[in-house]
Amino acid sequence: MKKLSQRREVTQSPQRDLRTDLGVFRKRNYTIPMTKEFLPYQTVRNNALKLAHRIYTEGFVPDVIYVSLRGGVYLGNLISEYFKIVQRRTRPVYYAAVIARSYTGVQESGDVKVEGWTYTPEYLRTGDKVLLVDDIFDSGKTINHLAKIIMDKGIPRNDLKVAVHDYKYYFDKGEQHPVQPDYWCRKHELSVKGEDIWIHYSSHELIGLSQEELEEHYYAEDPELREALQVLHKDL
């Protein structure tokens, strides 16, 4: 089976110092074999800057960067900051956000609902180049829904690029979405029949943490977090 080109990968595999837990995720009476990875925010920061540099040196300079709230914000902030610096003597890159919801929990997805844009695609002009940023491409529903809205406003696919930190590609999935990421930091080639990977972004996620994981990945570094997060633990 021919694999997709990995020309735009920033890293080939997870960093050696990342902590992974091999286990099983149980929710609502079903069982999913899964590897859980705790991704430090410093890793996302460094990868984001390298990704922004790659986008720039490959010749794509966006007129508008859309970040999908809230997962794409950390990655999008860094990419936007990079372009703000490299474009400081030319035209500025407009940074905007879109609120779109698809995931309701780990491995749960529903219909995509767009709740608002800070810069509506109605304002996009012919010739504008658009960069759409999110933290992860998993089911692909949210990215494809947003991409369709943008392309329906007259932006051709060649002028719309998708950038994510993690690209989960299920090589044996029966039907692939038409829009796949153009740029990514890490690509995970997975089987729909095999083990999945749950990526916990330490920069902004608290869902799905066990007491043991809180102890190891949060309280060990900062014991004062115990009081703050114990209040939330019953809802995690």
Both 160 and 109 in one domain: the answer is yes
Is position 13 within any domain?
no
Partnered with residue 67 across adjacent β-strands are: 97, 133
pLDDT digits (tens, 9 = 90+) for 123-182: 999 999 999 999 999 989 999 999 999 999 999 999 999 999 999 999 998 889 999 999
Question: Is there a domain that residue 30 lies in?
Answer: yes
Identify the pLDDT of residue 140: 92
The rounded radius of gyration (Å) of the Cα atoms in the chain is 18
- Looking at the structure, do residues 198 and 141 belong to the same domain, yes or no? yes
Per-residue pLDDT of 52-97, as tens digits, reads 999 999 999 999 999 998 889 999 999 999 999 999 999 899 999 9
Q: Give the confidence band of 103 by pLDDT, cuts at 50, 70, 90.
A: low
Which residues are CB-neighbours of 95 under 8 A, at least 6 positions away?
A: 64, 65, 67, 76, 80
Which amino acid is present at 48?
A
96: which 2 tokens?
A: 């905007």
With respect to residue 14, please indicate whether it lies within any of the assigned structural domains: no
Structure tokens at 93: 């890159």
Q: Which residue range(s) make up the domain with 146?
A: 19-205
Residue 110 is predicted with a pLDDT of: 58
Residues 117 and 212 placed together within one structural domain of the fold: no
Please count the structural domains in the chain.
2
93 and 83 both lie in a single domain? yes
pLDDT reported for residue 177: 94
